[in-house]
Structure 1
Amino acid sequence: MKLNQPVFYIALSLFLCPFIIRAQGIDIPVTSKTKLNFSGMLQSQFNYSLDDDVDVKGVHHAEKGQFAHNSFSVKRARLQLNATISDRINAVILVNFGDFTGNPENKVLENAFIKYSVNDYVNFQFGQFRPQFGQEDNYPVDFVQSIDYSNQYYLFGGNSWQSFQIGASFSGQIRDIAVPIQYAIGIFNGNNRNTVDNDDGKIIPARLVFGLSRQTHLGLSAGAGKNMGQKIWAYGVDVDYKKQLNEKWGVQLISEYKQGINSQQFFKQTEPLIPISRYAMRGIYVLPNVSYSFKNTRLKDLEFAFRYEYLDADFKQSGNARQSYIPMISASFAEAYAIRVQLGLQMDRFQENIPNTTEYNTNRVICQVQARF
């Protein structure tokens, strides 16, 4: 009997439940060499559209009708299993049960990889995971200092440069030099996660991160490949600055620019008459963040962030540039964002408003509650 994907993952979760209850966040020794660790994360949201003709998903409605202006949702309900097999080998499986609230096809399973670490300089990874191709690949979403990853991340992810991909990579770092370097290069199918490869084309992304100082890091990303016989490429640069001013105040600035071929847009055309090189995307964002720490209180940290982003998915042709402004305040009630409440206002402005689509000016209030365990 063949199980479809939702049934399979529900069965998997039921199988794992007894182990999770026993684990309670504690490492479980399985054999003399293997050790299992379970962890999880839950993100729940309340969205409220401030526009009468725009629904909670950001879709414009020219005609009057019934649609939701506000809604509760479970954005992510993640469960991760990390198996330490030896001092050099570990395997990771990460699933997101929050994907069942929408269309779970080609979703739910996020990480599924084996990592072999020789030392700091030599590390190999095989399976499904996020390629190193930008600043946002360096940390999980529960540490994002805005409501979510940038629009740029999802656009480049849809074009196989970021988000979860299937392939292999080599990475490492050199610390004991004047300018420490982190490096990574990989080869991936280029078809996005949980998808059977449909051609022999592959993508090869690479990334270098230079530690210019203890506070400042410079990242360079570039990649090339083929998709259904078409040559594709992308590149980017990012700067991360972080400094603890004193015991209470800290500041951080993240900025990133990327440009590449939008193959998704090219293959949407039934009979493309324009070369794929004319389907180009680019984006930039800056995210300053100011934090204030408390001592001996239940409230651990208070942060204020403001993300500005410019993104054009087709700037060489008839692109419709999108600008986003997202001021946000967040409160942490445990260390490392284990319990976190965020309140933000997302304001999207398009070069041209297109009725009855998501390419329309919107204003949404978003409240997000997060728990990590």
Structure 2
Amino acid sequence: MQAAVLTEFGAPLTVRETPDPVAGGGEVVVEVLAAPVPPYAEEVFSGRRNYPLEPPVVPGIGGVGRVVHVGPDATRLRVGDLVWCDCTVRSRDDALDPDITLQGWSSRGDGGARLARHLHDGSFAELMRVPTENVYPLPADAEDDPARWSSLGVYVIPYGGLLAGGLEAGETLLVSGATGNLGSAAVATALAMGAGHVITPGRNRAALGLLADRFGPRVRPVELTGDEDTDRAAMTAAAEGPIDMVIDLLPPAAPSSVARTAAMTVRQYGRVVLMGGVGMLGGTDFALPYPWIMRNSVTVRGQWMYPRPANVGMIRLIASRALDLDPERLRTFPLDAVNDAVEYAAAHGGPFDRTVLTPAAA
């Protein structure tokens, strides 16, 4: 098969012939029809994000594909099924504290690194080997546009955070980092889940306007100034009532003060979910006042990626059109143009911009 290989950090990906993957027990081989290329992929491949990939490696964070082989323990998947392949792989030998790897992308700790060495390669290839439990059948209408359905991989991340925070219908949510690729996905997902209003702070006027135009008065844009007191007051005023929950999806380059400003708008007994990259590249640590958390009974929790059932929930939201993928701005690239795709994704990382590789069509 053909695959795009990261031979070393800082080098362009090389498209070359590699051995076809072979599924063992508990695994599936999938023909990759559409693999999302995140806007920060160039930062990963250059080494600037310091992700624990071990070159040579086929990168990629899941995608849409067609099953070509199933292991003997699969009871419902069939060859030919159109499926979503989730990159979040958990070890099977500890139910309470599993090791985790993002297949073809990243991992956590020594156990996650060992898991990554077993499931080394991701979706930037014609074929991919995936754990059986990470493969999810898609509805029939996904056949019409697999590339658009690969946006599922963007939306399911903030969906995991919204589930972790227990977002309820009618509540007011503040999305810190709302004008980014993941933040804007959080806005759309929260509204699909029934949020009453979503506060969307940011500095990019055009992106704030796009969110307001797409979703109407349920979205409350706030243009940030950089002054903590001024910005916190503006966000609180935009809510016109209590802010029930804050989700942070800011990128690693964002200062921790921006995350703190947003978090401290939440009401008494409110929830704050941290999913972004603040502090990953150094800088000032994220700090919240102990007395403020304690006296206001605020829940603060981290969430890395999402639980397995979130994949099923997201497929249902899209299939029902509660979450509409039609407005996505989609650009596809064949596998042999993978470096062009990475460059394009870096320049088009705004709200609802999607860059997708189509390996099987190469």
Give the TM interval when normalised to the shorter protein.
under 0.3
Structure with higher Rg: it is 1
- Higher RCO (Cα < 8 Å, 6 or more apart): 2
TM-score, normalisation: structure 1? 0.26
TM-score, normalisation: structure 2? 0.27
Higher strand content, 1 or 2: 1
Higher helix content, 1 or 2: 2
